[in-house]
């Protein structure tokens, strides 16, 4: 099927065509010569360059791949102006413009020199370890150079503008003083930029070198003595997978740490008081082997996970970022970990049936400690509105048409819900929606349009919500200026002020309450920001409609009704058999004909025939309510820490007796304390 280009693609193509056309017109005007056309084409090309850098940066990549980057375009623009000036008539113009041409050449030479020095400065400021919530003042970090000096495109446009404007003014007036003045000013700006960047390379103004940083990191490990960590590696949109384990990790009676692998992930992790270290290179990562770190929990699998699994002194537990009936919830990769921590008996059975190599003795049921934020069902919908949360999952990697309901059923479900005047719809799509199948992205956009069209009013943020938003932003961000680089952020993100995490939790709760209160009665909402959270949506919803995903498992903590869309080729009976999490759900067909009856059962609990089944399924999926999940999580951590300490002790004994042992040639730099708290339970400072 032929796909028509979207408006964004057409806009990019139009802007690119205008820039190419302006360049062609400038070339024609320079050769003619035709001064008005030359000036107009030059001005238009400069305006389009500004548009590209402000709104259409994707087009810049296309030009760069075609070997027409900003430097080539700017040189061509100035060259055509010089050609135009030379063809305007006077015989001695070659001599008169020789100095101007030499000045232009010197300017572009300075531009190249600035770029070379900029690369050197960036390398000196790219540290082997990036941190948050750790005092890094000893590393001689400083604010980043101005962004203008670090970005070649912006720099060339700004520094070269006087020269281009001077050449254009000379073409219009015939006076060479304009061109000379413009080129001279560009030379001065470029020289000043080069000097400013070069000063950053002086020994006293450089940050600590790699050796110093690694020694500092080793000293921090020895002083902080971490015992439990969360290891995470992934893409930008996957940060939520680590985020859901921040509170359970912070609630441990231990010294937690978060270990990341990608530099861009450091600012993506939600606000937390837990120290964060990013170790991009494998040799740096391996320094953890000589630390007091005993256990790492893993909320996701990634290609880089295998690197940290090679550390023999650390025990590893896979906790996943959610549990569902999908194959990803019993991935064969899980057998690489020392233990697999699951919510309840259903997950244990899932691994046994999958026969992927995970032994039952290595499966530990800990519940879902993060679900403490989900409030239990308080009865039928209060008020005149029934709040329905439609939270479809994404299309997945395997191309299974039943993964997401968006493509086959999404619009039908939304239309059926919007047709009921007593429904308030909350639509929360998965962050990865449309990343694999464009049809899912197109369906998502159409659903958003339906919701926006159905809203007869628009809510204006209340003063209280605006105040809380500003307060929450101050607590969860560090107010970095746009030009800040990683080194500057690392310097600013030192140890958080005492009580910040409690303040964030308190203000977040107040913000969510104010957010829901600010919505006009019955207004539908697309929820695609980090706030409000999924669990906050659970708490205000009376009904969930979703797909086979971990959202169902988490929603069962509320005990409220839920429905699942069957968009595959299975019958309802086969669908329920294939996916146990659907056992207590209302199954909806792609045509959404069952939506009215579903809403009726939600509004009248006496018609709800699945309440008992939901309670039983909740127990199977999430485990018992007592002891609380956080306590079970902490007990699992203590037990695995004890196993790690036992392994270290046996290794040390073999080393002392001369028996062969793994990596016996490397002695740990940090030894365990002679006396102290129980295994894995190091008191907070």
pLDDT at 535 over 90: yes
- 95-104, 489-498, 628-637, 667-676 — which is least confidently predicted? 667-676
Which CATH number is correct for 387-459+526-622, 3.90.1150.10, 3.30.420.40, 3.40.50.261, 3.40.50.2000? 3.40.50.2000
404, 281 contact by CB (below 8 A): no
Kindly give, in sequence order, each residue whose CB lies less than 8 Å from that of residue 604, ignoring residues fewer than 6 positions away. Answer: 380
Q: What percentage of residues in the chain have a pLDDT greater than 70?
A: 91
Q: Sorting pLDDT into bands at 50, 70 and 90, what band is 588?
A: very high
Q: Sorting pLDDT into bands at 50, 70 and 90, what band is 616?
A: very high
pLDDT at 668 over 80: no
pLDDT at 654 over 90: no
- 116-130, 513-527, 605-619 — which is least confidently predicted? 513-527
| Mean pLDDT of the region 518-524 | 85
**CA-atom Rg of the chain in angstroms:** 31
- 436-440, 470-474, 477-481, 608-612 — which is least confidently predicted? 477-481
The winner for highest mean pLDDT among 80-84, 87-91, 560-564, 666-670 is: 560-564
- Please report the pLDDT score of residue 679 as a whole number: 40
Which is more confidently placed, 117 or 664? 117
- Please report the pLDDT score of residue 434 as a whole number: 86
Q: Sorting pLDDT into bands at 50, 70 and 90, what band is 628?
A: very high
Equal CATH topology for 225-367+634-685 and 387-459+526-622: yes
- Please report the pLDDT score of residue 294 as a whole number: 97
Q: 605: which 2 tokens?
A: 């609990």
Nearest partner of 343 among 623, 582, 535, 552, judged by Cα: 623
Which is more confidently placed, 57 or 520? 520
- Please report the pLDDT score of residue 685 as a whole number: 35
Q: Sorting pLDDT into bands at 50, 70 and 90, what band is 522?
A: confident
Helix, strand, coil distribution of the chain in percent, nearest 5: 55, 10, 35
pLDDT at 115 over 60: yes
| Fold exhibited by the domain 225-367+634-685 | Rossmann fold (3.40.50)
Chain centroid to CA 431: 10
- Please report the pLDDT score of residue 676 as a whole number: 42
Q: Sorting pLDDT into bands at 50, 70 and 90, what band is 680?
A: very low
**Mean pLDDT, the chain, as a whole number?**
87
Rounded Cα gap, residues 18 and 647, in angstroms: 67
pLDDT at 63 over 90: no
**H helix or E strand, kind and range, residue 341:** strand 339-342
pLDDT at 454 over 80: yes
pLDDT at 670 over 70: no
How confident is the model over 148-167, as pLDDT tens digits? Answer: 898 888 888 899 999 999 99
Q: List the domain boundaries for the chain.
A: 7-127+148-205, 225-367+634-685, 387-459+526-622
pLDDT at 90 over 60: no
| Mean pLDDT of the region 252-266 | 95
Q: What percentage of residues in the chain have a pLDDT greater than 90?
A: 53
Q: How many CB atoms lie within 10 A of CB 503?
A: 17
Q: What is the pTM of this model?
A: 0.83
Q: What is the dihedral of CA 475, 477, 480, 483, to 10 degrees?
A: -170
Nearest partner of 147 among 111, 118, 124, judged by Cα: 118
The winner for highest mean pLDDT among 98-102, 525-529, 668-672 is: 525-529
- Please report the pLDDT score of residue 4 as a whole number: 39
pLDDT at 382 over 60: yes
Rounded Cα gap, residues 314 and 645, in angstroms: 9
Which is more confidently placed, 124 or 497? 124
- 123-127, 290-294, 605-609 — which is least confidently predicted? 605-609
**H helix or E strand, kind and range, residue 295:** strand 295-298
- Please report the pLDDT score of residue 597 as a whole number: 94
- Please report the pLDDT score of residue 660 as a whole number: 61
Q: Sorting pLDDT into bands at 50, 70 and 90, what band is 662?
A: low
- 99-103, 172-176, 230-234, 491-495 — which is least confidently predicted? 491-495
Q: What are all long-range contacts of 148-153, with beta carbons under 8 Å and residues at least 24 apart?
A: 148/193, 149/114, 149/118, 149/193, 149/196, 149/197, 150/118, 150/121, 150/122, 150/483, 150/485, 152/70, 152/71, 152/111, 152/115, 152/118, 153/53, 153/60, 153/69, 153/70
Rounded Cα gap, residues 564 and 342, in angstroms: 23
pLDDT at 610 over 50: yes
| Mean pLDDT of the region 387-392 | 95
How confident is the model over 353-368, as pLDDT tens digits? Answer: 888 889 999 999 999 9
Q: Sorting pLDDT into bands at 50, 70 and 90, what band is 261?
A: very high
- Please report the pLDDT score of residue 215 as a whole number: 96
């Amino acid at each position: 099927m032929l796909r028509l280009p979207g408006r964004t693609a057409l806009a990019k193509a139009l802007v690119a065509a205008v820039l190419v056309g302006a360049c062609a017109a400038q070339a024609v005007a320079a050769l003619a010569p035709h001064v008005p056309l030359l000036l107009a084409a030059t001005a238009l090309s400069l305006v389009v360059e500004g548009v590209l850098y402000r709104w259409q940066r994707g087009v810049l990549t296309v030009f760069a791949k075609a070997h027409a980057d900003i430097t080539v375009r700017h040189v061509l623009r100035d060259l055509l102006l010089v050609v135009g000036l030379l063809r305007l008539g006077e015989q001695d113009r070659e001599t008169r413009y020789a100095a101007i041409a030499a000045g232009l050449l010197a300017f572009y030479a300075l531009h190249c020199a600035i770029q070379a020095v900029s690369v050197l400065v960036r390398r000196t400021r790219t540290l082997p370890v990036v941190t948050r919530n750790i005092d890094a003042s000893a590393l001689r970090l400083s604010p980043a150079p101005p962004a203008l000096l670090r970005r070649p495109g912006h720099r060339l446009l700004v520094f070269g503008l006087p020269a281009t404007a001077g050449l254009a003014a000379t073409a219009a007036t015939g006076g060479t003083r304009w061109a000379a003045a413009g080129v001279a000013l560009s030379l001065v700006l470029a020289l000043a930029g080069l000097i400013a960047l070069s000063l950053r390379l002086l020994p006293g103004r450089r940050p600590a070198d790699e050796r110093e940083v690694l020694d500092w990191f080793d000293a921090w490990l020895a002083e902080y003595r971490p015992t439990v960590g969360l290891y995470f590696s992934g893409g930008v949109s996957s940060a939520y997978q680590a985020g859901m384990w921040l509170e359970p990790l912070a609630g441990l009676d231990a010294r937690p740490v978060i270990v990341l692998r990608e530099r861009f992930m450091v600012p993506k992790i939600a606000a937390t008081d837990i120290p964060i270290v990013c170790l991009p290179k494998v040799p740096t990562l391996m320094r953890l082997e000589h630390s007091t770190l005993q256990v790492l929990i893993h909320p996701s699998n990634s290609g880089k996970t295998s690197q940290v699994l090679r550390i023999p002194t650390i025990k590893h537990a896979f906790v996943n970022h959610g549990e569902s009936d999908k194959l990803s919830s019993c991935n064969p990769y899980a057998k690489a970990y020392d233990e697999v921590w699951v919510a309840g008996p259903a997950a244990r059975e899932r691994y046994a049936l999958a026969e992927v190599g995970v032994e039952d003795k290595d499966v530990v049921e800990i519940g879902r400690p993060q679900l403490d934020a989900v409030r239990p069902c308080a009865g039928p919908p209060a008020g005149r509105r029934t709040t329905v949360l439609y939270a479809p999952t994404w299309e997945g990697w395997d191309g299974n048409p039943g993964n997401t309901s968006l493509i086959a059923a999404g619009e039908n479900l939304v239309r059926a819900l919007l047709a009921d005047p007593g429904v308030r719809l909350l639509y929360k799509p998965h962050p990865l929606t449309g990343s694999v199948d464009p049809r899912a992205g197109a369906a998502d956009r159409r659903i958003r349009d339906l919701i926006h069209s159905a809203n007869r009013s628009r809510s204006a943020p209340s003063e209280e919500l605006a105040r809380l938003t500003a307060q929450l932003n101050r607590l969860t961000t560090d107010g970095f200026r746009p030009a800040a680089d990683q080194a500057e952020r690392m310097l600013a993100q030192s140890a958080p002020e005492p009580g910040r995490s409690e303040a964030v939790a308190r203000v977040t709760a107040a913000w969510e309450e104010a957010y829901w209160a600010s919505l006009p009665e019955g207004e539908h909402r697309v929820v695609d920001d980090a706030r409000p959270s999924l669990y906050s949506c659970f708490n205000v919803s009376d009904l969930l409609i979703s797909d086979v995903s971990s959202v169902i498992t988490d929603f069962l903590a509320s005990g409220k009704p839920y429905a699942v869309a069957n968009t595959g080729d299975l019958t309802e009976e086969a669908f329920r058999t294939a996916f146990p999490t659907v056992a207590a759900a209302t199954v909806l067909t792609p045509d959404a004909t069952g939506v009215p009856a579903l809403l009726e059962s939600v509004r009248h609990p006496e018609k709800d025939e699945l309440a008992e089944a939901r309670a039983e399924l909740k127990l199977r999926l999430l485990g018992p309510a007592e002891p609380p999940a956080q306590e079970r999580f902490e007990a699992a951590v203590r037990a695995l820490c004890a196993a790690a300490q036992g392994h270290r002790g046996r290794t040390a004994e073999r080393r002392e007796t001369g028996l062969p042992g793994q990596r016996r040639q490397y002695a740990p730099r940090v030894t365990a304390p002679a006396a102290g708290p129980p295994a894995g339970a190091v008191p907070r400072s």
